[in-house]
Structure 1
Amino acid sequence: MRSHWSNCIANFDNEVDDFVADYFADPQRRVLLVAAAGFDPRSRRIAALLSGALGDRLSAVYIREERPRPSEALVRRGDENEAALQALTPNCRIVKVDVFADDGAPVGGTRVIAALVDYDVPEDVTDVVLDFSALSTGIGFPLAKILLEDCEAATGRAFHLMVVSNPETDDRISSVPSSRPSPVRGFAPLAGGDRKVAQIWIPQLAHGKMGTLAQIGVAVGECYKICPLLPFPASNPRRADDLLSEYQSALVDEWLVDPRDVVYASERNPLDCFRTLSLLKTRFDRTMQDSYEPRLVLSPVGSKVLAAGALLAAIEHEMAVHYLETEGYTFEDIAPERAAAPDQTVHLILSGPLYASYPAPHPTA
């Protein structure tokens, strides 16, 4: 078990800039950045920050997620971001990943891992950074799991997770979901033991995702409980209330959610989400230990900060993750004067020499 995750090294907003400037100033540090090279306006932020501190000590692998029939505007944005990222990190590799197979099956997670399986991280790399900001769930979760395992197996190599999040920007990105809900690669439900399985589904409520979550819920199947996850506290103090209003019909008439089962986690701190989900699992394990095998199923579809917390919980506690891959996106441009809250930046160190005094992770974790 990773006992340090509940209170691991974390930095937020301006603290991230200060940490990068100080920690990566050491000329012995060599960094591999893994990030997205898509249309998302947050794609360049972390690369620019690291490039300014590291210069030619930074190398990168950029993932370009390819979906069927993208709009010309989004392709142009992606091309611009890709060119900017290559300028920031000349020592980089662009990996194009077809998210769907010919028959429409979501295979992005499998393909991104296959594309990187032959990529040998240089031995002099001291730190691996995963920029989770613009990666989809189907790509980002498998990448995080395999990169973390590789860093934990290496001697003296740290693994960092960084996120640039803005819920208002997320609201401007509309998605067209596919019709085939499925588990994320590497996060499929585990086989039950001798006891009967009791599923607890934890859908992350997000604006405009009712249809997506409805399809995922059907695929998840019969549940002992449904515990919706809401962002609170949030940059918009009314966000949780607005989501409860948006999902009222589903919560009351379809999912039959008991108000006591609603789960809240900070929109700003992924560790709060991780600790909340960990506590939830501990309580279900304790109360069901003589009768049922609890199976927690996560569906992170909104804020990347909350999704990062769900990622940690899914890895640490072997939780299942069900999602619905996106076939396409639309992005609403707004004038600069209409820009809402600034981006939030989060940085976590999940493994490495700084935790040498903690027990090593369990081999099956």
Structure 2
Amino acid sequence: MRSHWANCITNFDADVDDFVAEYFADPSRRVLLVAAAGFDPRSRRIAQMLSTTLGDRLSALFIREERPNPSAALLARADENEAALKGIVPDCKILQVEIFADDSAPVGGARIVKLLGEHPVGNDVTDVILDLSALSIGVGFPAARMLLEDCETAANRAFHLMIVSNPELDDRISGVSWSRPSPVKGFSPPLEADGERELAQIWIPQLARGRMPALTQIGVVIGRCYKICPLLPFPSRNPRRADDLLSEYQTALVDEWAVDPRDVVYASETNPLDCYRTLSTLKIRFDRTMAGTYEPRMVLSPAGSKVLAAGALMAAIEHGMAVQYLETESYSFDDRPTLPGAPSDMTVHLILSGPIYSSYDETGRT
């Protein structure tokens, strides 16, 4: 059990810059950054921040998620970001990950695990950082699990998550979903009752703008649920975001999923630990309630905000939850200039494992 996760070291916005400048100033620290090199305008932020402090003590694996028939505009953006990242971190490799196989099956998760296995973390690396900002769930979640488990087996290596989040920017990115949902690589424990007890599933879809068709398809594949508990971002920096999502999803919530208003789950849009704690508490209470009567299963479907997705990732790893996801075939991006006064990016940093927690006991206290 990772008892320290409930109160793990977390930094936000300006404190992230301060942490990087102080923690990585130690000349003994050597860092491997794993991040996306796609079209997302947030792709360079973390690499630039780290490079400023670390210089040649920073190496990187940059992931290019390749999907069929990308638009020329997005391909040009991705090429520009890749070239810039090579300049920011000269000691880097580009890992090209084909998201779909020849038969159109989504295989991005299996391929990133294979590629990371072919590029093991060097023995001199003291810190591994996964930048989730521009990685898809199907690639980012398997990469996070593999890197975390690798760091946990190393005596003196820390594992960090970093995210540059902007919900308003997320709303400007839309995609065409694949035809059939599938479990994320490494997050597919059995979903069928394995004994005399009947299966009781709770499905927690993370509501996000424009994702209703994808979540509806996922719900059909998951099938019968004991409860459906939609996850809403609240509090959020747009006070009406949760209300807007409830309005957008009204048909699904009422007519298709028959959600009891008391079953709606809320988690902070800015703090992944709030999502992690909320989902962990729900899982523990559900298992306790169903013990001896039903076979409990909890299924997560992250979408939209990577901050909430990071909390879902932690809960899924810690409690063995399933993650059901609908891969995106292609993206489109509204690249109109940002208006003056528009909300700025948020930065989040977490340390999930490392020597810093060596003195924690089972209750998470030093």
Return the TM-score normalized by structure 2.
0.97
Once the two structures are superposed, residues 48-96 of structure 1 have per-residue CA deviations (whole angstroms, 9 ceiling, x without a partner) of 0000010000000000000000000000000000001000000000000
Q: What CA distance in whole angstroms lies between the structure 2 residues aligned with 1:336 and 1:238?
A: 21
Once the two structures are superposed, residues 2-50 of structure 1 have per-residue CA deviations (whole angstroms, 9 ceiling, x without a partner) of 0000000000000000000000000000000000000000000000000
Letter in 2 for 1:326: T
Instruction: Tell me what 1:97 maps to.
Output: 97
Once the two structures are superposed, residues 294-322 of structure 1 have per-residue CA deviations (whole angstroms, 9 ceiling, x without a partner) of 11000001100000000000000000000
Q: CA deviation at 1:359?
A: 5.0
Q: What CA distance in whole angstroms lies between the structure 2 residues aligned with 1:140 and 1:104?
A: 20
Q: 2:205 aligns with which of 203, 206, 211?
A: 203
Q: What CA distance in whole angstroms lies between the structure 1 residues aligned with 2:361 and 2:326?
A: 36
Instruction: Tell me what 2:333 maps to.
Output: 331
Q: What CA distance in whole angstroms lies between the structure 1 residues aligned with 2:46 and 2:29?
A: 17
Q: Identity of counterpart residues, as a percentage?
A: 71
C-alpha contact 1:2 1:359 (8 A) present in aligned 2:
no
Letter in 1 for 2:59: S
Q: CA deviation at 1:338?
A: 5.0
1:358 to 2:360 alignment: yes
Matches within 5 A, 1:268-347: 268-338=270-340, 340-347=342-349
Q: What CA distance in whole angstroms lies between the structure 2 residues aligned with 1:338 and 1:299?
A: 34
Instruction: Tell me what 2:240 maps to.
Output: 238
Q: What CA distance in whole angstroms lies between the structure 1 residues aligned with 2:340 and 2:98?
A: 34
Letter in 2 for 1:26: D
Write out the 4+ residue segments of structure 1 that deviate beyond 6 Å after TM superposition: none
Instruction: Tell me what 2:159 maps to.
Output: 159
Matches within 5 A, 1:147-226: 147-190=147-190, 192-194=193-195, 195-226=197-228
- CA separation of 1:325 and 1:338: change in aligned 2, threshold 3 A: farther
Letter in 2 for 1:150: D
Letter in 1 for 2:69: R
Q: What CA distance in whole angstroms lies between the structure 2 residues aligned with 1:127 and 1:109?
A: 23
Secondary structure of the residue that 2:21 maps to in structure 1?
Answer: helix
Q: CA deviation at 1:360?
A: 8.4
Q: What CA distance in whole angstroms lies between the structure 1 residues aligned with 2:344 and 2:120?
A: 37
Query: How many residues matched?
Result: 361
Q: CA deviation at 1:340?
A: 2.0
Q: CA deviation at 1:287?
A: 1.0
1:247 to 2:249 alignment: yes
Letter in 1 for 2:342: A
Secondary structure of the residue that 1:244 maps to in structure 2?
Answer: helix
Q: What CA distance in whole angstroms lies between the structure 2 residues aligned with 1:25 and 1:172?
A: 36
Q: CA deviation at 1:337?
A: 2.8
Q: What CA distance in whole angstroms lies between the structure 2 residues aligned with 1:360 and 1:59?
A: 34
Instruction: Tell me what 2:129 maps to.
Output: 129
C-alpha contact 1:105 1:180 (8 A) present in aligned 2:
no
Letter in 2 for 1:324: L
Instruction: Tell me what 1:6 maps to.
Output: 6
Q: What CA distance in whole angstroms lies between the structure 1 residues aligned with 2:213 and 2:256?
A: 13
Q: CA deviation at 1:282?
A: 1.1
Instruction: Tell me what 1:65 maps to.
Output: 65
Q: CA deviation at 1:122?
A: 1.2
Secondary structure of the residue that 1:68 maps to in structure 2?
Answer: coil
Once the two structures are superposed, residues 219-246 of structure 1 have per-residue CA deviations (whole angstroms, 9 ceiling, x without a partner) of 1111110000000000100000000011
Q: Unpaired runs of 5+ in structure 2?
A: none
Q: 1:267 aligns with which of 266, 269, 289?
A: 269
Letter in 2 for 1:180: R
C-alpha contact 1:267 1:305 (8 A) present in aligned 2:
yes
Letter in 2 for 1:182: S
Instruction: Tell me what 1:33 maps to.
Output: 33
Q: 1:227 aligns with which of 204, 226, 229?
A: 229
Q: Which moved more, 1:352-361 or 1:238-247?
A: 352-361
**Cα RMSD (Å):** 1.2
